[in-house]
A and B are shown apart, each in its own frame.
Chain A
Amino acid sequence: MTARHLPPWRRPARDHFPGVPAWSLPVSTVPQEPFDVSPLGGRLTREWAWGGADGSGVRVCVLDSGIDAAHPLVGGLERAMDVVRAEDGTLAVVPTEPADTAGHGTACAGVIRSIAPGVALTSVRVLSGGRHGSGAALLAGLTWAIEEGYDVINLSLSTTKAEFCDALRDLADSAYFRRCVIVASAHNMPVRSYPWPFASVISVASHDSPNPMTYYYNPSPPVEFYARGVRVPVAGPGGRQLLSTGNSFATPHIAGICALILGKHRSLTPFQLKSVLYLAAENVAVPDGGARVD
């Protein structure tokens, strides 16, 4: 029996897998399903949302493997931090060299800079040693970033450790109320991971359109937005460029767009920002400006 007669957000999750895989959206081959939209009465256009903005005045924190500040596609950093274990066993966030031996964080930072060239970027290394990032380092880094009051926090990663779920949810709620917008990569494998499924964050999977400013709303959450994630030109080792595919690289597109919107509308709360994103999404906004009406 099919559930197609139900609206996308009411359809039951498949129960074969332990997690909720956020399958990406191949817009090049799959027709999109229409859904009803209430435009909230205003005429919100992309021009209103981010026209003329470059992210100046917005502070973006990238929690990842570090960032190579000297890479030409990164364009410098405001701060570079590392999560280290102190002698007493506790984790501390301390200044470090702006470097990235793995290259993943540099790739993400370059995408943010390409969308919002005026932002101030900070790196917090929470992935190291090649092993799947410890959830404890992620918690420590995220706590620090929220306390520091970053406007946007990019998480092109997730933890599969269930014991960190509750603490991460509390942190995500705290960020939401303190106006720190967490933009997190969804998982496209059927495993449980966090924090992307939380309603308090902005979760991102991939579409395969080549336009960096094109993004879609997903009417069938938990993943809420699709951004460019296929063959994305990213900062590679040695100052070069790589073409990379994955939700990791879709996420900084939305982080960059959030920075553009916040640069122009400084007092938006996270729920307002998510509404603006929604109303300006490719499959919600109408071509001549404003949102589709239901």
Chain B
Amino acid sequence: MSTDPLESAEIHRRRLLQSIVEVARSVFGAAAASVLLVDESDGDLVFAAVAGEGEHHLLGSRFPAGTGIAGWALMTGQPVMVDDVAQSPQFARSAAESTGYVPRGIMAAPLICDGDCVGVLSVLDRDSRPRCDLGDMASLGLLATEMATVLELLSAPGPAAPAPVAAKPPAFDLAVLQRVADRLPTAPDQVAATVVKLLAMADDLLATSDADADA
């Protein structure tokens, strides 16, 4: 594994996203499961992890977020399922253009991080085992919640690095004090008064510092 911490974090992120879409595909016996994340720069949805149909060519591909069933989940913040997508030429074309695969059914749930909808977990063509549609919707919502939690954790700042040890001030040349003492008697009154004040302040500061250390 890379020793570069940034590269290492990205590998963890990809593995986690991939593991969740693999679970989603397995749970539903689906033709494909994928996670699409919103590109903040243009609002497009971008494939960030894919299991099943399209897993070899879809990563990084994108399509406009305002369309399709994934768009419904993204816009409303609610899970949604459509069973006969192929009957709708518009949705079928949209899906085919984005994935190269025309599904019969699509399930999609929003990924909500810190109140923002940052992407969609999408499942294409569940298998034909008898199942409870509402149960599948709840499962999909829970997987989307898990994925959003992972994304939040991965984007959170890591544990604070230990504060750097304060560098010791450079060694003070005590000869400066001797020179000040030598020249002070001959300095103009105003300059001398200022120097005396500065020395008094330095004396007070050191006294306060000593007291804090003793406490």
Q: A residues within 8 Å of B by Cβ? A: 17, 21, 23-26, 28-29, 65, 101-104, 127-133, 156-162, 185, 187-193, 206-208, 229-231, 236-238, 240-248
Residue ID in chain A nearest B40 by CB atoms: A131
Binds A, one of B5-13, B23-31, B48-56, B135-143: B135-143
Among the listed B77, B90, B91, B112, which residue makes an inter-chain contact with A157, where contact means beta carbons less than 8 Å apart?
B77
Q: Kindly provide the distance from the CB of A160 to the nearest chain B CB, expressed in whole angstroms.
A: 4
Instruction: Answer whether residue B60 sits at the interface, using C-beta atoms and an 8 A cutoff.
Output: no
Instruction: Answer whether residue B144 sits at the interface, using C-beta atoms and an 8 A cutoff.
Output: yes
Tell me, in angstroms, the Cα distance from A3 to B65 when the chains sit together.
Answer: 43
Binds A, one of B79-87, B163-171, B189-197, B202-210: B79-87
Q: Kindly provide the distance from the CB of B190 to the nearest chain A CB, expressed in whole angstroms.
A: 57
Q: Kindly provide the distance from the CB of B54 to the nearest chain A CB, expressed in whole angstroms.
A: 20
Residue ID in chain A nearest B64 by CB atoms: A130
Contact yes or no, A24 B134, CB < 8 A: yes
Report chain A residues within 8 Å CB of B112.
160, 189, 191
Instruction: Answer whether residue B46 sits at the interface, using C-beta atoms and an 8 A cutoff.
Output: no
Report chain A residues within 8 Å CB of B43.
129-131
Among the listed A128, A188, A191, A244, which residue makes an inter-chain contact with B66, where contact means beta carbons less than 8 Å apart?
A128
Report chain B residues within 8 Å CB of A244.
80-83
Contact yes or no, A248 B80, CB < 8 A: yes
Report chain A residues within 8 Å CB of B132.
26, 28-29, 208
Q: Kindly provide the distance from the CB of B137 to the nearest chain A CB, expressed in whole angstroms.
A: 6
Main SS class of interface, B: mixed
Instruction: Answer whether residue B162 sits at the interface, using C-beta atoms and an 8 A cutoff.
Output: no
Among the listed B64, B78, B83, which residue makes an inter-chain contact with A243, where contact means beta carbons less than 8 Å apart?
B83
Contact yes or no, B76 A133, CB < 8 A: yes
Contact yes or no, B141 A104, CB < 8 A: no
Contact yes or no, A131 B38, CB < 8 A: yes
8 closest A-B pairs (Cβ-Cβ)? A130-B65, A130-B66, A132-B117, A237-B90, A245-B81, A189-B141, A246-B80, A157-B76
Report chain B residues within 8 Å CB of A208.
132-134
Q: B residues within 8 Å of A by Cβ? A: 38, 43, 45, 64-67, 71-72, 74-85, 87-91, 109-110, 112, 115-117, 132-135, 137-138, 141-142, 144-145
Tell me, in angstroms, the Cα distance from A25 to B137 when the chains sit together.
Answer: 12
Tell me, in angstroms, the Cα distance from A246 to B138 when the chains sit together.
Answer: 10
Residue ID in chain A nearest B92 by CB atoms: A237
Contact yes or no, A246 B65, CB < 8 A: no
A26-B134 contact in complex given A102-B71, A130-B67, A132-B116, C-beta closer than 8 Å: yes
Tell me, in angstroms, the Cα distance from A71 to B32 when the chains sit together.
Answer: 32
Q: Kindly provide the distance from the CB of A6 to the nearest chain B CB, expressed in whole angstroms.
A: 23
A23-B138, A190-B141, A244-B81 are known contacts; what are 11 more A-B pairs with Cβ within 8 Å?
A101-B67, A103-B90, A130-B66, A157-B75, A158-B76, A188-B138, A191-B77, A206-B137, A231-B133, A245-B81, A248-B76
A130-B74 contact in complex given A29-B132, A160-B115, A160-B117, C-beta closer than 8 Å: yes
Report chain A residues within 8 Å CB of B91.
236-237, 242
Report chain A residues within 8 Å CB of B138.
23-24, 188
Report chain B residues within 8 Å CB of A127.
75-76
Tell me, in angstroms, the Cα distance from A206 to B134 when the chains sit together.
Answer: 8
Residue ID in chain A nearest B69 by CB atoms: A244
Report chain A residues within 8 Å CB of B45.
130
Between-chain CB contacts (< 8 Å), 28 pairs: A26-B134, A28-B132, A104-B76, A129-B43, A130-B64, A130-B65, A130-B66, A132-B116, A133-B77, A158-B77, A158-B78, A160-B112, A160-B116, A160-B117, A162-B115, A187-B78, A189-B79, A189-B109, A237-B88, A243-B82, A243-B83, A244-B82, A244-B83, A245-B81, A246-B79, A246-B80, A246-B81, A247-B78
Report chain A residues within 8 Å CB of B145.
17, 189-191
Report chain B residues within 8 Å CB of A241.
87
Q: Kindly provide the distance from the CB of A72 to the nearest chain B CB, expressed in whole angstroms.
A: 15
Contact yes or no, A248 B78, CB < 8 A: yes
Contact yes or no, B116 A230, CB < 8 A: no
Report chain A residues within 8 Å CB of B72.
102-104, 248
Report chain A residues within 8 Å CB of B142.
189-190
Tell me, in angstroms, the Cα distance from A236 to B132 when the chains sit together.
Answer: 24
Residue ID in chain B nearest A243 by CB atoms: B83
